[in-house]
Chain A
Amino acid sequence: MLPTLNITGDVVLVEHLSHRIGKLGSGDLVLVRSPLDPNRTLTKRIVAMEGDRVTFSLDPTRSFSSRSLVVPKGHVWIQGDNLYVSRDSRHFGPLPYGLIEGKVFMRVWPPNSFGLLG
């Protein structure tokens, strides 16, 4: 999630209300349960909501190989900010909305990058 979040050591505040009342949109940083391992949680950014068309390339170093699809109902498309190393919806497909656990809205540690995120 570089450059938004550091590789390790950041402490962020997550609120668990927005996803319950449907106030999430594209561009939000969210905490999700991994579809590949239910014991892990991931932090990614929502790029597209259900019904949106998303265009992506599996290999960002080769810009001419791109695919496009429409996000199905009840799902969102998440991507990490560091496209080169992130494993996200480009690899495991659209994410069911029920796997979203919360929205990241603020970073509290390290102190020199204290502030609102997203």
Chain B
Amino acid sequence: MGTPSVLWNVAKKCFTVGVISLTVSDLFSSIVPVRGASMSPTFNPKTNSLLESLSDDRVLVEKLCLSNYKFSHGDVIVFCSPDNHKEKHIKRIVGLPGDWVGTIYDVVHIPEGHCWVEGDNLASSLDSRSFGPVPLGLVKGRVTHILWPPNRVSSIERKTSRNRVSPS
């Protein structure tokens, strides 16, 4: 009867919704699950690192900061891993270009265009202490809010450790 045209209308609407949501997700903000315990207690305070579960935190990542790559100390960012571009990590910015950051063994100068990231849970976090400063071009967004689970919905605050970082 009119079934082909109904299907066509549904297909058109799905395509439009798909294109719009892809654009919003690429340019404005998207929702991302957090895996692992490297950012405890900020994200995933109860660790269950073996199973990908519904209890993982879901966070809102905003991409408007990518227009000029201006970040502040204490921002939580999503970035591509320097060792494997298919993996993304979520860590906190501890050092910005020009800063001197103290690690256990020595003091590192952050070069131009790079940042120093560390997880909040230093005991189990793979971060700049292992792979060095991260180029800012690898940053894919900044985390602003936790959206899931509902009892932990909140906005992310900037936490800085002034005793280890000497600004330029």
Known: A96-B135, A96-B138, A98-B138. A36 touches B83 (CB 8 A): no
Confirm or deny: B81 has a beta carbon within 8 angstroms of a beta carbon on chain A. Answer: yes
Residues of B contacting A: mostly: loop
Known: A39-B68, A39-B69. A34 touches B81 (CB 8 A): no
The answer to whether B69 and A96 have CB atoms under 8 Å apart is no
CA distance A73 to B82 in the complex (A): 9
Considering the complex, give the chain A residue whose CB is closest to the CB of B140.
A98
Considering the complex, give the chain A residue whose CB is closest to the CB of B138.
A98
A41 shortest CB reach to chain B, Å:
9
Question: Which range holds the interface residue count of chain B?
Answer: 10 to 19
The answer to whether A38 and B137 have CB atoms under 8 Å apart is yes
**What sequence of 0s and 1s flags, for each residue 127-143 of chain B, a beta carbon within 8 Å of any chain A beta carbon?**
00000000111110000
- Choose among B68, B69, B81, B111 the residue that contacts A98 (Cβ–Cβ < 8 A): B81
Contacting A at CB under 8 A, from B79-120, are 80-85, 111-114
Residues of B with C-beta under 8 A to A37: 112-113
Question: Which range holds the interface residue count of chain A?
Answer: 10 to 19
Considering the complex, give the chain A residue whose CB is closest to the CB of B114.
A35
Confirm or deny: A75 has a beta carbon within 8 angstroms of a beta carbon on chain B. Answer: yes
The answer to whether A35 and B137 have CB atoms under 8 Å apart is yes
Excluding A35-B114, A74-B84, 20 further A-B contacts by CB distance (< 8 Å) are A33-B137, A34-B137, A35-B113, A35-B135, A36-B112, A36-B113, A37-B113, A38-B135, A38-B136, A38-B137, A39-B69, A74-B83, A74-B85, A96-B80, A96-B82, A96-B85, A96-B135, A96-B138, A98-B82, A99-B138
Interface residues of A (CB under 8 A from B): 33-39, 72-75, 96-99
Per CB-CB distance, the 6 closest pairs between chain A and chain B, nearest first, are A33-B137, A98-B80, A98-B85, A38-B136, A74-B83, A38-B69
Interface residues of B (CB under 8 A from A): 68-69, 80-85, 111-114, 135-139
